[in-house]
Amino acid sequence: MRIDLHTHSTASDGTEPPAAVVAAAAAAGLDVVALTDHDTTVGWAEAADAAVEHGVRLVRGTEVSARSSGISIHLLSYLQDPEHPALTAELERTRHARLHRAEAIVELLAADVPITWQDVLDHSADAVVVGRPHIADALVARGVVPDRDAAFARLLRADGPYHVPHYAPAAASAVRAIRAAGGVPVFAHPGADARGRVVPDAVFDELAAAGLAGVEVHHRDHSPAQQDRLLAIADRLGLLVTGSSDYHGDGKANRLGENLTEPHVLAAIEEQGTVPVLGG
């Protein structure tokens, strides 16, 4: 069974609508795919219809923005109640913060490069969550940079002059909110040190105590050394180990199914979650 538990659609920063992501998953030979857009569940219904059409099992989820020790981190929430107030309130607050942050970044950029807020809106028409990837797409369209990766490396990096922070809940609080909503929290790409600082080992202990269920170990942004580190942490804390593509369509080089999750791990996630995995 081929299981990929981390993908994005145009509901956040992917380049394909939810239905197209599911169709691409089927074409890639996946048996199970998770839709995990940033801080929203708006793509779930469309993805569910497509899963029935294409015969793919669908894990409904969300990638939740959080923060720990001053470091931005992401938590994959699987199979949560999409209407639970504790989690939906945090997601709404984060979405608004991301929007205002994006506007502030564009204002800073516009002093030095040709870009307007309308440019960004033109590249985020279907998105509930507007963020830096849409700014990157606008910069590409304007010819300022050749692609998203170059935009993040040159203009949108966290230590650059155009960086603007945004609100995100404390990671342990986010884990507890996910659990309160009946979701299964998994730490997304926690060893992706090329993206910036990663949290120290002690943070995993804190999150495990709050209810963390697993760690996304097998990810293209993890070096072999980081994978070994994360496997040791997961073993020590009794956490599930997942592998995923973090697919964004044409927005990133990540390909569906390039990293996979074991069937027994999916079974454990399904057992802990509130909403079912859809499909046969």
Residue 267 has pLDDT above 90, yes or no: yes
What's the pLDDT score for residue 271? 98
Distance CA(222)–CA(224), nearest Å, equals 7
Report the number of secondary-structure helices (H) and strands (E) in the chain: 10, 7
Mean pLDDT of the residues in the chain: 94
73 DSSP β-pair partners: 66
pLDDT at 197: 83
pTM, rounded to two decimals: 0.91
Could you tell me what percent of the chain has a pLDDT over 70?
100
Right CATH for 103-153 from 3.30.1360.70, 2.60.40.790, 1.10.150.650, 1.10.10.10: 1.10.150.650
DSSP string, 149-200: HHHHHHTS-TTSTT-------BHHHHHHHHHHTT-EEEEESTT-GGGS----
Domain coordinates of the chain in residue numbers? 3-91+167-272, 103-153
The answer to whether 177 touches 86, Cβ cutoff 8 Å, is: yes
Rounded-to-integer distance, Cα 62 and Cα 44, Å: 10
CB 82 within 8 A of CB 88: yes
Helix (H) or strand (E) holding 73: strand 71-78
* pLDDT above 70: residue 121: yes
Contacts 24+ apart (CB under 8 A), 136-144: 137/251, 139/109, 139/113, 139/115, 142/113, 142/114, 142/115, 144/113, 144/114, 144/115
pLDDT tens-digit series, residues 157-207: 888 999 998 889 999 999 999 999 999 999 999 999 877 788 999 999 999
Mean pLDDT of 78-94: 95
In CATH, which of 3.50.7.10, 3.20.20.140, 3.40.50.300, 3.40.50.2300 is domain 3-91+167-272? 3.20.20.140
Overall average pLDDT of the 221-231 stretch? 96
| pLDDT of 98 higher than 90 | no
Confidence of residue 127 (pLDDT cuts 50, 70, 90): confident
Q: Is the pLDDT higher at 33 or at 99?
A: 33
Q: How many CB atoms lie within 10 A of CB 8?
A: 28
* Residue 249 reports pLDDT greater than 90: yes
